[in-house]
Amino acid sequence: MGIGERRSRLAVAGARATTEAMLSGQPRRDVIRNTVFAGLLLLAVGIALAGLLALLIQAFVKGAPALSLDLITNPPSTAFPEKAGYRPAIIGSLLLIAGVVLFVVPVGVGAALYLEEYADKSRWWNRLIEVNIQNLAAVPSIIYGILGLGFIVRGPLDLGFILAAGSLTLALLVLPIVIIAAREAIRAVPDSIRQGSLALGATQWQTIRRQVLPASIPGIITGIILAVSRALGETAPLLLVGATVFVTFDPTFLGTDGYSAMPVQIFNYALRPQEEFQQLAAAGILLMLVVLLAMNSFAIWLRNRYEQRW
Amino acid sequence: MAQDESRAEAAREAREAAAGRAAISVRPEFRAHSSSSGAEKVFELKGVDVAYGGVTAVKGVSMEIGRNDVTALIGPSGCGKSTLLRCLNRMNDLIPNAEVSGELLYHGEDLYGPKVDPVQVRKLIGMVFQKPNPFPKSIHDNVAFGPRVLGRKDGLDETVEKALRGAALWDEVKDRLDDNAFGLSGGQQQRLCIARCIAVEPDTILMDEPCSALDPISTGKIEDLMIELKEQFSIVIVTHNMQQAARVSDRTAFLMVELDADEDNRWGRLVEYDETEKIFTNPTDKRTEDYVSGKVG
């Protein structure tokens, strides 16, 4: 072994030792601080999850005995709680959200397209509309109930206490959510796509219809599903616009005999002192949780599946 | 959906009629490309100024762009090359507050005349952008988009093949026309954008630094392509790369940033416009010489 080689080996070993010394040996105080902070963050997550977990366990333990197909197929009953179910409420909820979708999709997507593609953002009124939509999304739902009662059930529209009126009220409630989500999705389409399309001689509408909308539709649908699941869980505005708490027949869109919805029916059962009704309410909560979880999972799946990376 | 579209189309036509607009007329002789008719002009610019919100970006450009020529616009950053290019197919209309003044003739017709519809202009004058911007669709649908927008339904497959061959991309993609265009390499994507552009059968193609995002091999392919394409089309290219201008163009325009007396405002000014060979070997203006010899910029 030549002396040169030995020397260079020594140099390498020395350099390595220096680097290792620089990389290790974190001060003890920093280690403690790190651990404490990570622990606090974990605690925050724990508190958030504990609430959900408590609800789930409570509902499951209490509602398990009432879980059966009767829950879905049978109408409610005050006399026979062991046979009572949610049938009219489920149908009511389905019709309600069908109406919400019918209204909210064209109006919400249309408004979002106008605001993103046509509105001149340097104009003050367009900025005002923007701020107002953000605010509307935060208005308490009971206010929408009062609006629905005043303008849809009575007042200018005068529809009466029918399911369609409830549907329209819920649609107004979730409209800002749909607009905001659809705008986000439309904004995510890069301008280079619009320019590429326009440079080929496409009109603005052709560009929107054939490029912008198809590229943003997964995001828009995700927003719609989230909005619908919000509408599905709303109770307060429905109570004001005629969701009668006790309906034993299947509701229709325009029927004047009253209608019900899942959360309203759960609320009604939960108010009753008898143990059987308490079980029914818990089982109803489980049913709704399953539906909501399924809808939200579908929305997430859709977003991941079709997310476009630009 | 189809109904919506036709309704919107009808509304657009009604608006145009109301504005007294008519589609820019396409004279048959524009379509029949005869090569090497050097004297013929596609564009004539006379004292063209461009301003964004009252701030001048390009001042007093006068030049003529010949048919079946490759015309290069070169110059340092901020000299208004792209701005000028975007005037030629009215893409500047998309920027609020953009104003084009002076005279800009396209085959002798005022491109900014009251009867000219920018949508029609863009059908005749295609554009390829700096960054490849394929649509999030299949390769086939990318190329077929333009013809479809023009209302063509038959013979799309042939059009797509012809355009892809024209852009020297057919052999690389013929077995995967239904694959998403995002799976292509950057150079392939850019050639797809060129194919997409020529599928509309324009008369002129504008290229805004088409190779700046590409590697040297892809750049070489696109430069070869440009020389082939000028048989059929007139090409105006903005480039940062002087060698590229020297390699592909017939005529070169050199633009430069000009400052006003108190150096508050700056705008682009056409310094020299001539045969490419003359610009690169024996320019008239000292500033051009400094720029092409690498002394400034």
Side chain identity, residue B82: S
Q: Contact at 8 Å (CB) between B141 and B195? A: no
* CA-only gyration radius of chain B, Å: 20
How far apart are the CA of B34 and the nearest CA of chain A, in angstroms? 23
Residue B9, pLDDT score: 57
For A193, the closest of B8, B133, B150 (CB atoms) is B133
**What residue has token string 């060698």?**
B243
DSSP for A167-232, written as a single string: HHHHHHHHHHHHHHHHHHHHHTS-HHHHHHHHHTT--HHHHIIIIIHHHHHHHHHHHHHHHHHHHH
How far apart are the CA of A196 and the nearest CA of chain B, in angstroms? 7
C-alpha distance from residue A109 to each of A184, B61, B263 (Å):
11, 44, 48
Residue A46, pLDDT score: 94
Q: Contact at 8 Å (CB) between A172 and A144? A: yes
Q: Is B200 near chain A, with CB under 8 Å? A: yes
For the segment A245-266, the average pLDDT, to the nearest whole number, is 81
How far apart are the CA of A185 and the nearest CA of chain B, in angstroms? 15
Residue A5, pLDDT score: 80
Q: Is B282 near chain A, with CB under 8 Å? A: no
* CA-only gyration radius of chain A, Å: 28
Complex ipTM above 0.90? no
Q: Contact at 8 Å (CB) between A263 and A233? A: yes
Residue B11, pLDDT score: 52
Residue A260, pLDDT score: 85
- Residue B256 makes CB contacts below 8 A (sequence gap 6+) with B75, B76, B79, B268, B269, B271, B287, B291
B297 has pLDDT over 70: no
Chain A positions touching B1 (Cβ under 8 A) are 209
> Residues of A at the B interface (Cβ-Cβ below 8 Å)?
120, 122, 190, 192-193, 195-203, 205-206, 209-211, 214-215, 308-309
Mean pLDDT rounded to a whole number for chain A: 87
How far apart are the CA of A211 and the nearest CA of chain B, in angstroms? 7
Q: How far apart are the first and last CA of chain B?
A: 52
Indicate the SS3 state at residue B45: strand
Pairwise pLDDT comparison (A13 vs A104), residue with the higher score: A104
Residue A249, pLDDT score: 78
**Contact call for A308 and B136, based on CB within 8 A:** yes
Q: Contact at 8 Å (CB) between A281 and A266? A: yes
Indicate the SS3 state at residue A162: coil
**Contact call for A201 and B145, based on CB within 8 A:** no
Pairwise pLDDT comparison (A92 vs B6), residue with the higher score: A92
Specify the range with the lowest mean pLDDT, choosing from A159-163, B53-57, B165-169: A159-163
Q: Which of B127, B129, B135, B201 to mutate to test the interface with A (most CBs of A within 10 A)?
A: B135
**Contact call for B122 and A201, based on CB within 8 A:** yes
B257 has pLDDT over 50: yes
For the segment A109-126, the average pLDDT, to the nearest whole number, is 89
Give the chain A residue whose CA is nearest to the CA of B90. Answer: A199
For the segment A243-260, the average pLDDT, to the nearest whole number, is 79
What's the predicted TM-score (pTM) here? 0.79
DSSP for B216-253, written as a single string: HHHHHHHHHHHHHHTTTSEEEEE-S-HHHHHHH-SEEE
Residue B7, pLDDT score: 56
For B131, the closest of A192, A211, A214 (CB atoms) is A192
Chain A positions touching B120 (Cβ under 8 A) are 201
B43 has pLDDT over 70: yes
B45 has pLDDT over 60: yes
B28 has pLDDT over 50: no
Q: Which of A109, A186, A197, A200 to mutate to test the interface with B (most CBs of B within 10 A)?
A: A200
**Contact call for B133 and A192, based on CB within 8 A:** yes
Q: Which of residues 73-102 of B touch A (CB under 8 A)?
A: 89, 91, 94, 96
C-alpha distance from residue A189 to each of A56, A106, A213, A228, B141 (Å):
39, 20, 9, 24, 18
The span from the CA of B185 to the CA of B172, in Å, is 11
Q: What are phi and psi of B202, to 5 degrees?
A: -75, 180
Write the pLDDT tens digit of every residue in A141-187: 999 999 989 988 888 888 888 888 899 999 999 999 999 999 999 99
A208 has pLDDT over 50: yes
A26 has pLDDT over 80: no
The alpha carbon of residue A58 and the mean position of all alpha carbons in its chain are separated, in whole angstroms, by: 23
For A202, the closest of B136, B149, B193 (CB atoms) is B149
B26 has pLDDT over 50: no
CA angle, B103 then B106 then B110, to 5°? 45
Q: Is B1 near chain A, with CB under 8 Å? A: yes
Among A303, A192, A220, A222, which Cα is nearest to B182's? A192
Specify the range with the lowest mean pLDDT, choosing from B95-104, B157-166, B226-235, B261-270: B261-270
B10 has pLDDT over 60: no
Q: Contact at 8 Å (CB) between A196 and B193? A: yes
Q: Contact at 8 Å (CB) between B280 and B292? A: yes
Mean pLDDT rounded to a whole number for chain B: 86
- Residue A245 makes CB contacts below 8 A (sequence gap 6+) with A239, A260, A264, A265, A267, A268
Chain B positions touching A211 (Cβ under 8 A) are 135
Confidence of residue A189 (pLDDT cuts 50, 70, 90): very high
Residue B145, pLDDT score: 95
How far apart are the CA of B118 and the nearest CA of chain A, in angstroms? 8
B33 has pLDDT over 50: no
C-alpha distance from residue A306 to each of A50, A104, A215, B1, B259 (Å):
33, 22, 9, 22, 49
For B94, the closest of A193, A198, A215 (CB atoms) is A198
Among A294, A288, A301, A289, which Cα is nearest to A92's? A288
The span from the CA of A275 to the CA of B96, in Å, is 67
Q: Which of B94, B124, B141 to mutate to test the interface with A (most CBs of A within 10 A)?
A: B94
Q: What are phi and psi of B101, to 5 degrees?
A: -125, 175
Residue B35, pLDDT score: 39
Residue A310, pLDDT score: 65
Write the pLDDT tens digit of every residue in A276-301: 888 888 888 888 888 888 888 888 88
Residue B173, pLDDT score: 94
For the segment B149-169, the average pLDDT, to the nearest whole number, is 92
How far apart are the CA of B289 and the nearest CA of chain A, in angstroms? 35
Specify the range with the lowest mean pLDDT, choosing from A22-26, A40-44, A55-59, B155-159: A22-26
The kind and range of the H/E element at A12 are: helix A3-23
Q: Is B197 near chain A, with CB under 8 Å? A: yes
Other C-beta atoms closer than 10 Å to the C-beta of B215 total 11
A222 has pLDDT over 70: yes
- Percent of chain B whose pLDDT exceeds 90: 67
The span from the CA of A250 to the CA of A72, in Å, is 12
For A201, the closest of B12, B133, B149 (CB atoms) is B149
DSSP label at residue A150: I
Q: Contact at 8 Å (CB) between B52 and B268? A: no
Q: What are phi and psi of B114, to 5 degrees?
A: -65, -25
Among B43, B40, B41, B47, which Cα is nearest to B103's? B47
Chain A positions touching B196 (Cβ under 8 A) are 196, 200
For B196, the closest of A122, A200, A203 (CB atoms) is A200
Write the pLDDT tens digit of every residue in B92-136: 888 888 899 999 999 999 999 999 999 999 999 999 999 999 999
Question: What strands, in cross-sheet order, belong to the sheet with B251-259?
Answer: B109-110, B98-106, B41-52, B55-66, B266-275, B251-259, B70-74, B234-238, B204-208, B125-128
Give the chain B residue whose CA is nearest to the CA of A123. Answer: B96
Residue B16, pLDDT score: 47
Residue B238, pLDDT score: 95
Token pair, residue B257, equals 């940033």
B22 has pLDDT over 70: no
Residue B65, pLDDT score: 94
Q: Is B8 near chain A, with CB under 8 Å? A: yes
DSSP-derived pairing of the beta strands B98-106 and B251-259:
unpaired
CA angle, A119 then A120 then A121, to 5°? 100
